[in-house]
Amino acid sequence: MTTNEMLHVVNPATGEPITTLPAASADDVAKAAERARQVCDIGVWSRLPVRERSAVLLRLAALMERDAELLARLDSEDTGKPITECRTGDVPGAIESIRWFAEAADKIFGRLAPSGPDALGFMSREPVGVAAAILPWNYPLAMTAWKVGPALAAGNCLLVKPAEATPRSALHLAELAAEAGLPDGVLTVLPGYGREAGAALARDPLVEALSFTGSTATGRRILKAAAETNFKRVSLEMGGKSPQILMADALVHGDELIGNMIEAAFLTMGQNCTAGSRVLVHSSIAEEVLERFTDAAKKLVIGDPADPRTQMGPLIDRAAFERVAGAVDAARAGGAQIHTGGLPHGLPSRGAYYPPTVITRAPEGSDVLTRELFGPVVTVQTFTSEDEALRKANATEYGLAASVWTGELDTALRMARHIEAGVVSVNAYSEGDLTTPFGGWKQSGFGGVEKSTNAFDQWTREKTVWIRTR
Ligand code: NAD
């Protein structure tokens, strides 16, 4: 008998171990997939009347509400995210997702073809069977809920691999699902390493669909693994380098603009796929915006994530700190001006704390301008025309999100039309709500595959039925 590798969950704020658990091996993944296949074949979930599936998921949402404080604490401790962010954002958002998809489950209709008098052609939506989700660490519960909600509502059996650093909220969610009455084997959480458990899921011949959220580099590997094995349907949600575009009249939005810019840049310490890490501002207002934005960044409360007043905790680990600090140091050496942040002076020495950092005059092609740093670092660049703003906004291999600030509807519409991103918000930093699809273009992903009724496309496949009626 081989022993499993261990997974070490560490509190990023203190560096202290939280728990150690066995990591799922490739063999564990294969067994879980076989078990899920059997459960699919028995049909205890997929053939349950859809209202009954909804009822189980609604009970799950209610149990999450009961355990909301625990779930917030698990995610805050594992990620280093401020507890207030988890209490007010991640956990309520996750509960809402489960509830939304539970309620949407029986509103997904098939289609009828205009087949003529002698035949009836219709297209039904069927569960894929065994499905899998591979998740990132930055929104552990929220991302799990985005996958679990529609995948289970559609009648699949789902294997979930949380990120190495943050398995606990997904494990608790699976316990709550069992308590809610989800049949055994329908939802399996496999905490494990990407190179072992993640890679095994991507290659497993029984997994028919795999939804991945994480970095672009890993997404590429997963797509390749699927192509080399069973061509499972893969959907990818990956990184970003999103612009916040402030047109000449953006300051009509006053403090609301500055508050949104801060949230866009520094939520989850900038470790956010949609982080607005590139501010593009019309030169006529650049000075005032830079001053107000920098002042607001300086006021952010950095500290213990467990303290409800804390607005910024540590980065996820030392490697993240080195990546962020290295890119900022290189930009500084190349002539960039650092308006605030840039050095971890005066911050807690335990944990990988890095301050909110605002940079101008970043060298062309530098990492702070082009790479997804996944940290609290924002560059500010100016423009003098719409064309220049669009050119700079689109000068990235990513295309996840963008925001445009203006008082003019025409300008907003023109900009929104020409920005190459899956989600464009106007006069807000927002990914929309559950009714709107979410997803990135270009190397950020496969488009709006998450949230909304679009999410069911990931987890179902269409079947054509042709009936001769003569
Ligand atoms: P990551 O790619 O390192 O890891 C993501 C997941 O993939 C983890 O569960 C990991 O274990 C697994 N994995 C790693 N190697 C694998 C392999 N060879 N085969 C299969 N699975 C493997 O990403 P991360 O550091 O956890 O998360 C940060 C990234 O996620 C950022 O790039 C961020 O932009 C992105 N993200 C995107 C969205 C979105 O919706 N677009 C949301 C959140 C995070």
Q: Is 116 helix (H, G, I), strand (E, B) or coil?
A: coil
Give the distance from CA 280 to its chain's centroid: 24
* Residues recognised as catalytic: 237, 273
* β-pair partners for 322: none
- b vs e for 370-398, b when ≥16 Cβ sit within 10 Å of the residue's Cβ? bbbbbbbbbbbbbbeebeebbebbeebeb
Dig out the tokens for 328 from the structure.
Answer: 């900022």
> What are 440-455's pLDDT values in tens digits?
999 999 998 999 999 9
Over residues 158-210, the pLDDT tens digits come to: 999 999 999 999 999 999 999 999 999 999 999 999 999 999 999 999 999 99
Which domains, ranges and CATH numbers included, belong to the chain? Answer: 6-238+445-468 (3.40.605.10), 243-433 (3.40.309.10)
For tokens 């930009």, name the residue.
331
Beta partners for 420? none
Residue ID of nearest Cα to ligand 1 atom 42: 273
Mean pLDDT across 245-256: 97
When pLDDT is averaged across residues 96-115 and rounded to a whole number, the result is 96
Q: Which amino acid is at 137?
A: W
Beta pairing partners, 235 = 211
pLDDT at 2 over 70: no
| CA of 119 relative to ligand 1 center, distance in Å | 47
215 CB within 6 A, ligand 1: yes
As a whole number, the mean pLDDT across the chain is 97
* Average pLDDT value for residue range 81-106: 98
Instruction: Give the per-residue pLDDT at 198.
Output: 98
Q: Is 437 in the pocket of ligand 1 (CB under 6 A)?
A: no
In this prediction, residue 3 carries a pLDDT of: 79
Rounded Cα distance between 63 and 45, Å, is 20
**Residue 219 half-sphere exposure toward CB, CA atoms < 13 A:** 19
Ligand 1: does its nearest atom lie under 6 Å from the Cβ of 331?
A: no
Give yes or no for a contact between 140 and 163, defined as CB atoms under 8 angstroms apart. yes
Pocket test for ligand 1, best of 138, 224, 438 (most atoms within 8 A of CB): 138
Q: Tell me the residue length of the chain.
A: 470
Average pLDDT over residues 231-246: 97
Give me the torsion for CA of 168, 173, 174, 180, rounded to 10°: 160
In the reported structure, the alpha carbon of residue 163 is separated from the centroid of ligand 1 by a whole-number distance in angstroms of 7
The Cα 206–Cα 114 span in angstroms is: 35
pLDDT digits (tens, 9 = 90+) for 47-91: 999 999 999 999 999 999 999 999 999 999 999 999 999 999 999
